[in-house]
Structure 1
Amino acid sequence: MTVLATPDKTGSGFPLGFDPILDPSPLQYLDEHGALSGPLRDDAAELAPDQLLATWRAMVVGRRFDLQATTMVRQGRLAVYPSSYGQEACEIGAMLALRATDWFFPTYRDCVSMVTRGIDPVEALTLLRGDWHCGYDPQRWRTAPQCTPLATQAPHAAGLALAAKLAGDDTVALAFCGDGGTSEGDFHEALNFAAVYQAPAVFFVQNNQYAISVPLAKQTHAAALAHKAVGYGMAGVRVDGNDVIAVRRVVAEAAERARAGHGPTLIEAVTYRMQAHTNADDATRYREDSEVEYWRSRDPLARLETYLKARGLLTEAVVAEANQAAEALADDMRARLGEEPEVDHRDLFRHVYAQPTPQLLEQAVALQAELDAEAEAEAEAGAEAGAGAGATTNAGAGAGAEGDPEAGR
C-alpha cells in the first residue's frame, strides 16, 4: 500500500484511516488470482453483493463495447479507436465511485468510462468517428469533452473544482490522465494549482506502462508516480489498477476527502494496456509477447469473476443477463454506426462562438459560395451530358427512319 502526504495543515487526519508511508507496492483488495490480499481486506473495503454484481456487469458490458469499437475501426466505421481493454477496473471502478453531480474530465482512451456514466455509446464515439469534437451534452452528463492533447484537461478540472469550492457546491472534479501525461507541463500546473487552493479535485493516472511506445522508465526515475504528490503537498495513493474493488474504494475516499474540504489527491493506478495504442500502432515493435501474457494473467474482469464465483454470487442467470445486455449494446452500435451520418457544412461555424466573429461569418460565406459553384458546375456538366446523349439518340432515330420504310408509321 502506498499513501503519501505532507503534514496535514487542517488537522483532519489523512486520509480516512490510512497511514502516510513510503511503499511503492500498490494498494490491493484482490490479488491476481481473485483472492483476498493486502490491508484493505481487513478494513471493511468489501462492497455489498448487489454493488459487486453491478460492478462486474458494468465491466462485462464495457469490455464488449471496447471489442465492438475495435472491430468497427477495422470496418472503416471509426477513424481511430484507442482501446482500454484490460483497464476496465480503472475505467469503471472510478466512475462508480462518483456522484452524478461530480464532474469527469476524460482523455481519448476513456470511452468505456463515459458509457459507464450513462452516455450513449454512439455519442461517446462521435469524436473518434470524425463527426464532431464532442457528441454528447457535457452539462447533462457532467463530463467534459474528450481530450486528445496530453494532460490539457487537468487544468480544466482544477479550475472547475476551485469554482465549485468558491460557489459552495460539494462537487468534485475527477481528471483522468495517462502515465505519459505526467511529463507534461499542464499536469504540473494543474496539480500545483489545485494543491495551493485546496481545490476538490482528484487526479487519476492510469499507469498502463506505455505512452504509445515510450515505457514508464523513460517518463520518470521516481519509484512511483504517486510519489509526485509529496512535491505538491497533496495526498497520494498507489493502487492496483486491475483490482476494481480497490480502485472504487480509493477514488470514493479521495472524493469524500475533497468534498470535506481537505484538498486534492493524486491516484496512480497500476494497470496495463493490453491492445496497441490505437489501430495505427504496432505494439510488437516495442514490447515482448511474454510481457503481454504476464499482464493477461492479471486480467481485471477474470479476477473479479473468480472472486464472485468463490462467494457463490455469480449464478448462470446473472451471467446470461449480463452477456445479453452486452450483446444488445454491440448490436445497437453496429446498427447505428453502420448508418452514414448526415452532415451539414454550416455546423462548422455554428458552435465555435455564441456570437460568430466577422472572420467566421466571412469564412461561412466563402465556403457556401464555393459549394454553390461546385453544385452549379455539376449541374451544367450533367445538362451537357444529357444534351449530348439526346443528340446521339435523335441522330440514331433519324438514321433508322431513313433506312426503314416502316419507321415513320
Structure 2
Amino acid sequence: MEEFRPEEYINPKDFMVDLLPTWKSLITNDSEPLGVQLQQVIGNFVWYSNPDLYQIVCSYMMLSQKWCKVVPIMFCYGLPGSGKSTISILTAYLHNQEYTFSSSDTFPSIRNSLDHLRWIDEDKQYEKDGAILCWDNLGSHDLRRDPRLLQLLLFGYNRSTDKVMIANNDGTNKVFHVFCPKVISSVEPLHQDVDFQELHRRFLIINHKKVDGLNINLESINDYDFSDFAEFYFDFWHNKLNCIQYVSRRKQFSSNKQWKITETQKTVSIDLAAIHSLIYETTTLETITLIEKYWQQIMNTNVKSEIEDALETFMKVEFMKLENIGGTYVRHSVIKDYIALLIKDGVITNSESKEFKKVLRKLGYISTKIGWFKNESV
C-alpha cells in the first residue's frame, strides 16, 4: 500500500469554501442588532407562522451554559420536513459542533460528550463556552428504553441540580455534570405525553409547520458554507463587556416585578430574557412583553398535536351524525379507517398513530368492545 502523505491529501472542504456562498451573504445589514442578523440567516431555512418565534429561537441559540443558571429545553415539534432538524443542525454549527445526537446514541455516550464539551480541565474548575445538546428525532421509546436519558433531561436544565452520579467498580461514585442548553426535536407530541409530565414544565415548545402548499421558498443549508458560523457565537461571548451586561440584565429580569406569568415560566425565562434583550437591543419591558406573549399563546393553544387536533374534530362530527340516528358510540373500524387516512395523507406518522387510544381517552372517550363512547362524567 502506498504511503499516505498528508500534504498530498485533497480535502473537499477546501473546494467547498470557494464554491458555496457563505452564510454571511444572507445578512442584509450587518449594522443591525446581532439577534436580527442571526434571524436573517435562520429565516432563509426555517419558516414559523408566528414571527415572534424567530426571536425566541435565535435567543435560545445564543445562550451559554457558562453564564446561565436555569435553561429550558427547546422542544421542536412537528411533522417530517417541517424544519426541526434544520434548527438542531444550525444550532450545533453555531456552537462549533459538527454533529447532532440521535436515538442511536446511548446514555453513556451522550453523558460523556456533554462532560467533555463543558470543561476545559479535568478537575472541572473552568467551563468552556458553547456546550449544548442537539438531539434530533427523539422518541418516547428512547426515554422509556433507558430512564437515564430522561433523568439527564430532568436534571440538566438547572445548574444547581445537574450532577449525575455513576457507581464505579471500586464502589466510588463518578460525578458528571449535564447542565447546558438542549435542543430536542420529535415528530411525537412529548409535551402532551402523560408519562413525561415532569419534562413538560421544562419545555420551551416550538411548533413547526410544513410549508407544502404555501408560497414560501426556503433554502437548503447544504447549499451554504457554515464553516465559520461559530464565530458569530464565540465573538459575542468572548467579549467581556457583553458578559458584564448579561449578568446585569439577568439580575434585572430576576428581580423585576412586571412579570405576569407563572413562577415556573418565569424561572425558565430569566436567562432567555437576558440574552434576548442584549442581542436584540430591546428594553426590559419589550423583552418581558415578548416572552409573556409566547407563554400566553402556548397556554391558549395548548399546542395540540396533529393527531389530537384531527381526532377531536373527527369525533365531534361522528357524534353529531350519531345523534340523528340515535347512535351512542363510534365503531373501532371507523376510527381505524380514519387513522389510516391520516397516515396516507401525511397528516400524522405511523409512530403517532400508535398513540390514538391515549389521545381519545385524553379527549374524554371510553373504549369498549363495540366502540368508543363519550365519557359523560368529564
TM-score, normalised via structure 2 length: 0.30
Which has the larger Rg? 1
TM-score, normalised via structure 1 length: 0.28
